[in-house]
Amino acid sequence: MANLFDVQGFGALSEWNGQFASASAAQSFQQIAALGSNSVSLTARIWTTNKTTSDVFAHAGKTESDASLLAGFKAAEAAGLSVVFKAAISPLDGTTSFALSPTDINGFFASYKAEIVRLADVAQRGGVDTFVIGNEMSSLTGAAYRGYWTDIISSVRQVYHGDLTYSAATDEALKVSFWDQLDIIGVNTYPPLTSSMTPTVQEMIHAWTEVPYNPYYAAAFDHKSPVDFLHSLSETYGKQVLMTEAGFRSMDGTAMRPGSWTTNAPADTAEQADAYNAFFQVWSAHGGSWMKGVELWQWDLNGKYNETGYSPMGKPAEAIVAQYFSGHGATLDLTITGSATHDVIDLGRGNDTINAGLGNDVIYGGDGNDTIIGGPSIYGKLATTTVTLTGYGTAGAARTPRSRSWSMASRSRHCWSSSRLRIPRAIRLTR
């Protein structure tokens, strides 16, 4: 079967200068690829002294050198992985990046821009596919700062020619003011999925498609479910969404606060596996062509087992990741009913039943044996068109249709496939 996503892999964080060029990193890239990954997201940190200072700099011991970056990119490529390269700023005093409040805002952005353009140049020399211009800087990404970011993006494009994105925090994505200037919408996706210490897989599946129970996150997601919120970002800006981070720690309560790396709780590898199981069931079904993919957080480049960390290495979750990344995991079969206006119904794999309803609808069925029922474009006593597609099989690079049929009513309608989309391809019903 085909890959689950166009981009699927793991994030990896540099803890010291030279780590990306290390033998353990090269071994990690091979392990990541063996799980069915086709990508790795490499995060290198740049620094400021504290949240109010304006000087942004590369730390000799903590920031990867150009040579180490290039060696890391090369090792990832040798393992068959494309590279997403993320620049992440961190204050040396331990302040979080989303609390930055430089006293000299012009000086800060001038200094930040210099570092980002420098790293973009290295990314270009290293053949990086996607460059991430910042990470979780929510205090500085609103409308008041748009001009600084458009200037940075323009300067980066002069030296780097791949795709650009920004990694927004889970509760920041709605407020980023410059999505229209980027190629991809990047979101570090850690919504709370439960208030229970012992959630079931089914409970976590439902949480992805319901408005968050937490009022703060309900507002952050514009009172939409996590799935619908990310989809709405894609529709608003006409760009694919990449989950630049998503993951779960192997500890009790991980689904309550997926993004918390400071919480202490007993180890629980089974709960981590359950959370991954729910994640993949949801996104294999709902992740249509609008969803570019996911970089799972994180793979420890030192190759060591972390009992309560994010890495699934050596834990039950590892097998679940491998199963889905290789295209063999179980998926949900959805029944979708369109509204009375025009809809874009864009789904992932699964044997789905899609009732388009009224309106001029665009339907992307994804992989699977889908039944698509198209209604009239206006109110009236019109016949309907039923289209039944049987998914295409894939074997290596070849794609062989098993069956494909449709029936047309007496009224004139047209059905065609789009060569830009995965098989089974987009079906547009014109009434």
**% of the chain residues with pLDDT over 90:** 74
Q: Are 264 and 191 in contact (CB under 8 A)?
A: no
- Rounded to an integer, the average pLDDT of 29-45 is 98
Q: What is the pLDDT of residue 323?
A: 97
Sequence-ordered strand ranges (E) for 136-206: 163-168, 185-188
Mean pLDDT (the chain) is 87
What contacts 54, CB < 8 A, 6 or more positions away?
A: 48, 102, 103, 104, 105, 107, 108, 111
Lowest mean pLDDT among 65-69, 143-147, 381-385, 400-404: 400-404
Residue that has been written with the tokens 């910042």 in this structure: 134
Mean pLDDT, residues 346-372: 68
Per-residue pLDDT of 198-217, as tens digits, reads 999 999 999 999 999 999 99
pLDDT band at 337 (very low <50, low <70, confident <90, very high): confident
Confidence of residue 387 (pLDDT cuts 50, 70, 90): low
Q: What is the pLDDT of residue 415?
A: 36
Q: What are 269-307's pLDDT values in tens digits?
A: 999 999 999 999 999 999 999 999 999 999 999 988 899
Query: Which pLDDT score, from 0 to 100, does residue 369 have?
Result: 72
pTM score, whole prediction: 0.84
The pLDDT assigned to 364 comes to: 72
What integer is the mean pLDDT of 96-120?
98
**Cβ neighbours of residue 375 under 8 Å, at least 6 residues apart?**
338, 355, 356, 357, 358, 359, 384
Which residues 6+ apart lie within 8 Å of 56 measured at CB?
46, 47, 48, 89, 108, 111, 112, 114, 115
Query: How would residue 342 be classed by pLDDT, with cut points 50, 70 and 90?
Result: low
